[in-house]
Structure 1
């Protein structure tokens, strides 16, 4: 990626920049971009890629080189040639200090695809793994599909804009359906079956984790017994409902600590801990470090 590929947002005073999708820099102003990654990539002079940052659009990188270590939502993923990294809107991430990033990068603005396609391709399935390792046949299909998308993207002269955009949406959908099939069939995703009990719980936690940490309260609201909820969550994730809730709370706390200048007490309050001492104990229990130390490490 080159310096002009993406622009940083105003950040609202955040230490870590949020990068919006730059429609004005996309060919013909469409809501997606696709092109090569190279060692000259930069974001912006005062916000290097090696620092933690947040994006508000979708990014898929199909690597042609490596190895690289890429941090997504505070987990480091080791990726090499033939692997894919899928970063969704709102996730924080950081590039490693290496020139090993090679391949093709796709960026897509939320809203570019219709709702039915979004649902069919799992664009907002944050529970699916961001690192994907296709087999040889899957990789060949993904490369062909992404290559076709790149050719259509670059061809801005043979079709009027409306038809060009429609073709891009169809080509993009074909690639994302292949990607979604890979994600759903991956070893990690296989531990998360499409179980209505678990998916309802997961969606409820996503809505209410900042104010509700009670397993019993979720069970009552969803109309399940506590035992039914425990069985469903353990079958889908291998952990307890309480562990699932706590993990989501910790992730949000990490995002706020890395991404904002909010005082520790306000970070705690934002994830359901009015008492800052209790928040610090909770955070240290689950991460092995204090909120202050974690923030210092991310800066």
Structure 2
């Protein structure tokens, strides 16, 4: 497809591609096509980061496919969907073979009530969706029906557009339900993951400061742990561990007369100099200075 391009918002230099309504059947505000037959624009280097001002839903028939959305990498397989919303930046992977069906939709094609009901602008929901067999069957059927209606130009334009809006709404309602369910499941998983991590840190912070070691012990990938801890606390796993170590060090410095070196050993620093550097980095005071301020 061809179309106009503009520079990215905020002067970030990322090219923004408009929805090419002139290439749609009958000029309607949506398109459905096979991925192999579909590109955003003939002059678009899709393997580079770019922004779109329209919705994209890709239903994959094969995989794995790696795709970057808002600087996070996602891996999709057969039966998975990727939902990219207006304003998000993304990038195709040259080495991935994109097979399946792609739906694009111009903002404003659906009425406001439908937009709200389908959560079209819920940027907090995950872009990668994994429907179960029943959900996938319904989504495939809905998308197939939408594609048939899109390619059927026997109706007058006003009726053709009305039918497309109804078919698109039905598909998006199913997709929105899947997205909302996936987001809730992800939150529950994040809560469980963080709770297990928090408990493990409480037991092991005096000897274990390694994020990878905690991830391995809990059976999670480092990326999963990072997402869970960030969702629960707003900080990284490393930051969470360090805060717990600093808290314990402060307690020992304030309430005991242990030498500085012994305090360091008690929180996992056999070398007193390394403990002092760590403590000062996180508090702005040396251990000696911290203790002196309290006494």
**TM bucket, shorter chain:** 0.5 to 0.7
Q: Which residue of 1 aligns with 2:27?
A: 29
Q: 1:39, 1:100 within 8 Å by CA — same for their partners in 2?
A: no
Which 5+ residue runs of structure 2 have no aligned equivalent?
A: 189-227, 236-295
1:160 counterpart = 2:192: no
Alignment of 1:213-252 (within 5 A): 238-240=231-233
CA distance in 2, matches of 1:136, 1:10: 40
May I ask how many residue pairs the two structures share in their alignment?
194
Look up the match of 1:270.
Answer: none
Distance in 1, Cα, partners of 2:103 & 2:47: 19
1:69 aligns with 2:69: no
Aligned equivalents of 1:56, 1:181: Cα separation in 2: 23
**Corresponding residue to 2:81 among 70, 80, 84:** 84
Unaligned 5+ segments in structure 1 are: 194-234, 244-299
- Is the CA contact (8 Å cut-off) linking 1:20 and 1:57 kept in structure 2? yes
The structure with the greater share of residues assigned to helix is 2
Residue in 2 aligned with 1:190? Answer: 185
Deviation at 1:39, TM superposition (A): 7.7
Q: Return the offset for 1:97.
A: 1.2
Q: Supply the RMSD in Å over aligned alpha carbons.
A: 2.4
The structure whose Rg is larger is 2
Find the counterpart in structure 2 of residue 173 from structure 1. 169
d(CA) in 2 for partners of 1:238, 1:65 = 31
Is this contact kept in 2: 1:129–1:189, CA < 8 A?
Answer: no
Aligned to 1:146: 143
Superposed displacement of residue 238, structure 1: 3.8
Name which structure has the greater RCO, CA cutoff 8 Å, separation 6+: 1
* Aligned with 2:130 (options 111, 129, 133): 133
Q: Which residue of 2 aligns with 1:104?
A: 101
Q: Distance in 1 between matches of 2:172 and 2:38?
A: 27
User: What's the CA shift for 1:8?
Assistant: 4.3
CA offsets, 1:31-55, max 9 Å, x none? Answer: 100110018847334x311000000
Cα distance in 2 between the residues matched to 1:141 and 1:179:
10
Which residues of 2 match residues 272-291 of structure 1 at below 5 A? none
Runs of 4+ off more than 2 Å: 10-16, 39-45, 188-193, 237-240
Aligned mates of 1:21, 1:40 — CA distance in 2: 13
Give me the TM-score of the superposition, normalised by structure 1: 0.60
